[in-house]
Amino acid sequence: MIPDPVPNTITRPYRGLSVQEVEVPLTELDLVPFLLGREVYRRTDYLVLRNHAEAAVVAVRKASTEPLFSPVVEARVLALPEQVVSISSPETDVGNATALARTALAHRRDGVRAYVVQGRYEHVNFIWEPTPVRIRVTEVVPPEPPKLFAMAEQVVAFDEDLPPIELVLDAVDIRELAAANPAPQYLLPCRGSGVDLGGEVAFLDTRPAEREDWLMIGCERSLQFHRHFYGDEPPRADICPRRRVSGREPTLAKCCLLERGVEVDGSSAVVPWGSNLDEIRTALRSLTGVARLDGATVS
């Protein structure tokens, strides 16, 4: 028996969806007998059947997947015309669930369950009850846009196995930390975080020749560097994104104490400060329940 589709169902790959023009009325009583015994391509799992301006979405089960074409032995109408929205969106990559969900939600209507999108290269796919997975990305700003967030967006755009994802920035703002901890001099980890803080600013990565009476805005690794350079620990405002992980919602963060790989603990995934796209991909797959790639460790 063909099961109920779960939210965020799409055709993977989208060649598993067949779009056909038909003359029969788009009702369950007409579509099921029309399809039973009808040949379909062996990779076809879903059909969008169009009758002029209306469309219905149907799931099918075939007698076999061995021959090139095989007769339908079971058909289930998933969505009738009043439950389907058809969208033309030439810029949408219909093989990507996040892109599909964004386009669908921009055309959201009450009572609609299936959104059929004709996108880039005129390819067509559908998404069922789009419900993006919300993932908090905890990252230090400036610079802006923050690097981890931008790289996570890259991964979401190319990994077609991921479900729809909504990335939400949780910014650790150096300017806010400085305002909450006023000081005449600040020491920041590196020039990449350069910003006007209303006081004199030095950068740890330049290894200033003289130890000054500064407030460090940095993390544990910065503190280790400071001890090595100057033999002591300055007063500090901690910027570590990992320390903000709450466990209440899926969170992607980074930590400079992790030098390679990914650490997954429940609803959080931590990547190195200088992480690559593969590590971020592993983290997002782990957070969304997609098969984990090599390199992830679960604690």
Cα distance between residue 93 and residue 213, in whole Å: 54
CB 20 within 8 A of CB 47: yes
Alpha carbons within 13 angstroms on the beta-carbon side of residue 225 total 19
Cα distance between residue 23 and residue 50, in whole Å: 8
Asked whether residue 93 carries a pLDDT value surpassing 90, the answer given is: yes
Cα distance between residue 65 and residue 70, in whole Å: 7
Question: What's the confidence (pLDDT) of residue 192?
Answer: 63
CB 164 within 8 A of CB 132: yes
Exposed / middle / buried, residue 295 (Cβ in 10 Å: 0-12, 13-18, 19+): middle
Confidence of residue 292 (pLDDT cuts 50, 70, 90): low
Question: What's the confidence (pLDDT) of residue 198?
Answer: 77
Question: What's the confidence (pLDDT) of residue 245?
Answer: 86
Confidence of residue 88 (pLDDT cuts 50, 70, 90): very high
Question: What's the confidence (pLDDT) of residue 193?
Answer: 56
Over range 60-79, report the average pLDDT: 97
Q: What percent of the chain has pLDDT over 70?
A: 96
Q: Tens digit of pLDDT for each residue in 118-133?
A: 999 999 999 999 999 9
Give the full edge-to-edge strand order of the sheet including 200-203. 200-203, 185-188, 215-218, 236-238
Query: In terms of C-beta distances under 8 Å and separation of at least 24 residues, what long-range contacts does 235-238 make, across chains too?
Result: 235/183, 237/177, 237/178, 237/180, 237/181
Confidence of residue 190 (pLDDT cuts 50, 70, 90): confident
- Nearest CA to 39 out of 79, 68, 3, 77 is that of 68
Question: What's the confidence (pLDDT) of residue 197?
Answer: 83
Q: Where are the domains of the chain?
A: 9-128, 133-173+241-298, 177-238
Cα distance between residue 126 and residue 11, in whole Å: 7
Confidence of residue 297 (pLDDT cuts 50, 70, 90): low
Task: Check residue 23 and report its DSSP letter.
Answer: -
Question: What's the confidence (pLDDT) of residue 299?
Answer: 44
Asked whether residue 225 carries a pLDDT value surpassing 80, the answer given is: yes
Over range 259-264, report the average pLDDT: 94
Query: Considering the chain, what is the average pLDDT of its residues?
Result: 93
CB 273 within 8 A of CB 147: no
